[in-house]
């Protein structure tokens, strides 16, 4: 690839990132929902259910890492709907008439998703501190936790972009992305897996979200990480590779019609 081609690809990507971020800023209700829903869930579990759940530690310290993963799920679902809106309202047809690289469109939506999730996550952490969350992480552990969360957000956002491409409407994109909101409930986000029924424990223990949660929990609160760190990296990197290939392939296939 020539230097001119690389420069053109970077310019296309920057243009679409700017467009998607500006749209995300204007769509305040989506950002508000992505922040409010995790806050309500955290308040519900900390103040209503927390007193009845035994985790061997203060429950707010246990549940916050799971809430952070839940927050990214809400943000990714918004990405799927934004891509589906572009696909169904004729925006993609207009872009096809311009010399814009196809991957730039999806990259713009993913970048907006990362920005939206970063804002929501920061607000959730501040609210958690107000509710009594007391992490004992050092600077290195905070950077490690943020880095892992960022990798997970990027991977999940690319997967959401792929779901948005195949969805035929914004409503169907919301339905397709439901599993990203539901899967954390079957993980170690809210209760330890060993408190679950025997048939459900393997699902909770071996699904991809649990090692990410356990690693973030270990970085922030000092619980043992064990091999969860390696498992979390493998899951996130594998999901990212799969999602990028899937989303770009589906986009090119659909826009060739």
Q: pLDDT higher for 24 or 18?
A: 18
| Whether the predicted pLDDT of 26 surpasses 70 | no
CB atoms within 10 A of CB 247: 26
108 Cβ contact list (under 8 Å, min separation 6): 13, 15, 16, 17, 18, 19, 20, 21
**Phi, psi at residue 136, to the nearest 5°?**
-115, 25
**How many angstroms separate the CA atoms of 90 and 87, rounded?**
6
Cβ pair 164, 157 in contact under 8 A: no
**How many angstroms separate the CA atoms of 194 and 35, rounded?**
30
Average pLDDT over residues 23-48: 78
Query: CA 3 → CA 6, 104, 119, distances in Å?
Result: 5, 17, 35
Residue 24 has what pLDDT?
Answer: 65
Which of 101, 218, 208 lies closest to 156, judged by CA? 208
Cβ pair 245, 159 in contact under 8 A: no
pTM for this model (two decimals): 0.88
* pLDDT, tens only, 121-170: 899 999 999 999 999 989 999 999 999 999 999 999 999 999 988 888 88
Locus of tokens 């920061």: 122
**How many angstroms separate the CA atoms of 237 and 70, rounded?**
19
Residue 98 has what pLDDT?
Answer: 61
Q: pLDDT higher for 83 or 21?
A: 83
Residue 8 has what pLDDT?
Answer: 56
Confidence of residue 97 (pLDDT cuts 50, 70, 90): low
* pLDDT, tens only, 183-194: 888 899 998 898
Residue 140 has what pLDDT?
Answer: 94
* pLDDT, tens only, 199-256: 999 989 888 899 999 999 999 998 999 899 999 999 999 999 999 999 989 888 877 7
* pLDDT, tens only, 112-122: 888 888 888 89
């Amino acid at each position: 690839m020539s230097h001119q081609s690389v420069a053109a690809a970077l310019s296309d990507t920057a243009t679409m990132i700017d467009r998607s971020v500006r749209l995300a800023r204007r769509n305040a209700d989506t950002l508000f929902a992505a922040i409010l829903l995790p806050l309500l869930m955290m308040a519900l579990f900390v103040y209503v259910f927390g007193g009845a759940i035994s985790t061997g530690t203060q429950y707010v310290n246990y549940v916050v890492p799971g809430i952070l993963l839940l927050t990214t799920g809400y943000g990714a679902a918004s990405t799927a709907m934004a891509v589906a809106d572009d696909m169904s309202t004729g925006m993609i047809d207009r872009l096809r008439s311009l010399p814009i690289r196809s991957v730039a469109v999806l990259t713009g939506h993913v970048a907006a998703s990362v920005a939206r999730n970063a804002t929501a996550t920061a607000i959730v952490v501040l609210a958690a501190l107000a509710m009594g969350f007391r992490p004992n992480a050092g600077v290195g552990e905070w950077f490690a936790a943020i880095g892992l969360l960022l990798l997970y957000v990027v991977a999940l956002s690319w997967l959401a972009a792929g779901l948005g491409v195949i969805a035929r409407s914004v409503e169907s994109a919301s339905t397709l992305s439901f599993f990203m909101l539901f899967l954390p409930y079957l993980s170690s986000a809210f209760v330890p897996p060993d408190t679950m029924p025997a048939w459900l424990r393997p699902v909770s223990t071996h699904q991809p979200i649990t090692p990410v949660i356990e690693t973030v929990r270990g970085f922030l609160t000092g619980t043992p990480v064990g091999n969860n760190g390696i498992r979390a990296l493998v899951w996130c990197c594998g999901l990212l590779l799969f999602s990028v290939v899937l989303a770009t392939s589906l986009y090119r296939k659909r826009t060739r019609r």
